[in-house]
Structure 1
Amino acid sequence: MAAQDTRVEGRYPLLTMKHRVMLLARWGLQGPGRARRELPAAPPSAPRPPAEDISPRDVFIAVKTTKKFHKARLELLLDTWISRNRDMTFIFTDGEDEELKKQARNVINTNCSAAHSRQALSCKMAVEYDKFIESGRKWFCHVDDDNYVNVRMLVKLLSSYPHTQDIYIGKPSLDRPIQATERISENKMHPVHFWFATGGAGFCISRGLALKMSPWASGGHFMSTAEKIRLPDDCTIGYIIESVLGVKLIRSNLFHSHLENLHQVPKTEIHKQVTLSYGMFENKRNSIHMKGAFSVEEDPSRFRSVHCLLYPDTPWCPANVVY
């Protein structure tokens, strides 16, 4: 446990012990004498009426990855949800890969470090933000390389909000606002607290809001903003939007990360989710629980089975499968 505590203190030196424990919980670790707390499930919200007509071409999906996961994780995404959404998907990585470029249309080598450090993560997010602004698209959505994106449901959700307004939508991984210290000057600190959507579940930002973030996010500003509060990329996004700009996070239980118990996603609701994930939870394999086209051994992430549920006409999906 000592090594884990050091890891938190190294990345988050200005947080109180209480919030270090919260971040340990966020990473699936346990603090001394503290059990991991799961976020209570929010009641399902009523569908919002469409605010504007958008298509997948209006959405910029940024997938953050690292070169060592090109085969282990990205190939699964390229075979499943990315295969139907290549034009809207942009892969941000940290190393050249000619084979990946042949399979995916939009691969951006950020030239950021491959380390899983605060600085490396913020470096990639800075490039994602700038590329989105250049694209002229209406919506920016960030996901990780362990997320399945149900693009039909994503577009349906985003169409409920005008892209010109200030919209920040996703799912927190903590059960209270994060508290941090904002560095005002060399010797002056200021406490701040804000909600943020965890990057591991994915989040989306409207173009109207993204443009307002520019003074703190464009060019090299995102990394300097992250250093100001000494928190990772997804926390920094929340800081800019909630603490600096005063825009509140819109929570959606349709986004899912490996930090939650994915067995709790109802089987009858899987097709309605925006993102899914897989990984480990409390030292056990964590993925959605469903009957599908493939066994758990063949499809441990369950992404192939989900894909066949959503797109049964996929050539490699078995016919006549009962879900």
Structure 2
Amino acid sequence: MSYQLSKMRLTLKRILQALFLAVLFSFSTLAMLRTLAATSNNSTATIERASAGKEEPPWIKNFVGLWPDRSLRSVLDDEGNTFAGPVIDDNDNHLFEVTTTTTTSSTTTKPHTTLDDIFISVKTTKNFHASRLDVIIKTWFTLAREQTWFFTDSDDEEYSEKTHNHLINTGCSASHNRMALCCKMAVEFDTFLESNKRWFCHFDDDNYVNVPQLVRMLQKYDWTDDWYLGKPSIKAPLEILDREHIPQKISFWFATGGAGFCLSRSLGLKMKPLASGGKFISIGDKIRLPDDVTMGYIVEHLLSKQLTVVEEFHSHLEPMKFLKQSQIADQITFSYSHYGAEMNVLSLDGFNNQIDPYRFLSLHCHLYPNFSFCPR
């Protein structure tokens, strides 16, 4: 009996030892697996940090998914090699995205600007819808479709559809006198204020806007400061009679509307008590001058803010043929005009003059050759 008890105790002891070893082995295995998982996670994090630290190809700083080099003629891979870009569907809603960087210093961070921060307005009239808007809609409008609005003087179902309902009937006169021009500009300005956008950029319906260059230019300026950006068409400040203090004269610069100009939101808000709600029209009527001059009068004379000249804006008052082809990609706006048989247009190869009398189609294909309508 004693022998059997001893044998049972020995067997039980061995069973307990086996269970203990099994539990110990399980805990050891679990600890080893946790260690391996932690090591794997650390390795992954290290790889991710290394990847994040890898320098991006230079073109990414300018574009995502479009022609990144300065001439905008090709797509580069990560190694900087050139390969053929895609054919672009002109009805695509998002052809490119302009990326931005935030410039930092030891004390301040400069707010950056993206395309969606800009309210782009184009002044037009019903009589020019067919002759001027079609080429804009086909070219640069496709690059800023959500940000661009057309201000006209009549309802037009056809062009409302073509502009994706971005055609606004201002209710202003269809004439080209100063009152009608100031009326449209007043609606443009008030619509900008309601949009809460950071920048207001006005253009005429005879302008081509190089959208990426416009964004790049605005990225140099802080929208929280007061900026009036444009280009005058006269060689000296304009002098007009001060009708409240005759015979005194007033002197100020103004950016010609035919080249385009931009206002920061900070400046727009300072202008609001003077120019919103139709007051812009009253000031234009008071000084008896058109809309772009009235804008300069409000900014420079009434608010004492100076015009900052941007040489890359160009109006029809300049000879377009003197713009060198090698410099075209760096310019922001272009225009055209004709006096009788003489055409003031860009000297640029491309479509024939019957198809492209204003050279905007040729210009667009020079900048963006992969659009579907561009010759190959």
For this structure pair, what is the TM-score category when the shorter chain's length is used for normalisation? Answer: 0.7 to 0.9
- Give the aligned partner of residue 104 of structure 1: 163
Aligned to 2:143: 84
Measured on the aligned residues, the alpha-carbon RMSD in Å equals 1.6
Q: CA deviation at 1:222?
A: 0.3
Q: Which has the higher helix share?
A: 2
Structure 2 counterpart SS, 1:163: coil
Larger Cα-atom Rg: 2
1:250 paired residue number: 308
2:221 is aligned to: 161
Cα distance in 2, alignment partners of residues 79 and 210 from structure 1: 31
Aligned partners of 2:329, 2:358: CA distance in 1, in Å? 16
Match of 1:308 in 2: 365
Partner of 2:118: 59
Q: Flag as ranges the 4+ runs of structure 1 deviating above 6 A.
A: none
SS of aligned partner of 1:63 = strand
Aligned to 1:298: 355
Give the Cα–Cα distance (whole angstroms) in 1 for the partners of residues 362 and 349 of structure 2. 8
Query: 1:254, 1:247 → 2: CA distance?
Result: 21
Query: Which residue is equivalent to 1:202?
Result: 260
- How many residue pairs are counted as aligned between the two chains? 268
What TM-score do the two structures reach when normalised by structure 1? 0.80
Structure 1 residue 77: Cα displacement: 0.4
AA paired with 2:254? F
- Say which of 290, 301, 323 aligns to 1:232: 290
Name the counterpart of 2:133.
74
Tell me the residue number matched to 1:40: none
Instruction: List runs of 5+ in structure 1 lacking aligned partners.
Output: 1-48
Task: Summarize deviations over 1:206-263 as a string: whole Å, max 9, x none.
Answer: 0000110112210011011111211100000000111111111111110011111111
Amino acid at match of 1:222: F
Shift, 1:101, TM fit:
0.9
Report the secondary structure of 1:169's partner residue.
Answer: strand
- Paired residue for 2:67? none
1:282 Cα shift?
A: 9.2
Task: Return the alpha-carbon distance in structure 2 between the equivalents of residues 282 and 252 of structure 1.
Answer: 30
- Alpha-carbon separation, structure 2, partners of 1:270 and 1:152: 13
- C-alpha deviations, 1:87-128, integer Å up to 9, x for none? 010100000000011111311100000010010000000000
Cα distance in 2 for partners of 1:308, 1:231 equals 38
* Pairwise CA distance, 1:184: 2.3
CA distance in 1, matches of 2:342, 2:311: 22
Whichever residue aligns with residue 90 of structure 1, its letter is W
User: Partners of 1:182 and 1:281 in 2: how far apart?
Assistant: 35
Q: 1:282 to 1:191 in 2, by over 3 A?
A: farther
CA distance in 1, matches of 2:338, 2:304: 35
Measured in 1, the distance between the counterparts of 2:339 and 2:223 equals 35
Counterpart amino acid of 2:292?
Answer: D
Is 1:267 the counterpart of 2:325 in the alignment? Answer: yes
Q: 1:258·1:286 contact (CA, 8 Å) conserved in 2? A: yes
SS at match of 1:62: strand
Taking the aligned partners of 1:172 and 1:75, their CA distance within structure 2 comes to 28
Structure 2 Cα separation of the partners of residues 127 and 154 of structure 1: 22
Deviation at 1:148, TM superposition (A): 0.2
**Is the CA contact (8 Å cut-off) linking 2:112 and 2:222 kept in structure 1?**
no
Partner of 1:184, secondary structure, is coil
CA distance in 1, matches of 2:252, 2:278: 23
Q: Which SS does the other structure have where 1:213 is aligned?
A: helix
Matched letter for residue 56 of structure 1: L
* Distance in 2 between residues matched to 1:271 and 1:285, nearest whole Å: 22
Q: TM-score, normalised by structure 2?
A: 0.69
Please give the alpha-carbon distance, in whole angstroms, between the structure 1 residues aligned to 2:111 and 2:283: 33
State whether residues 274 and 280 of structure 2, in contact with CA within 8 Å, keep that contact through their aligned partners in structure 1: yes
User: Secondary structure in 1 aligned to 2:243?
Assistant: strand
Aligned residue among 310, 327, 334 for 1:276: 334
The question of 1:176 aligning with 2:236 is answered yes
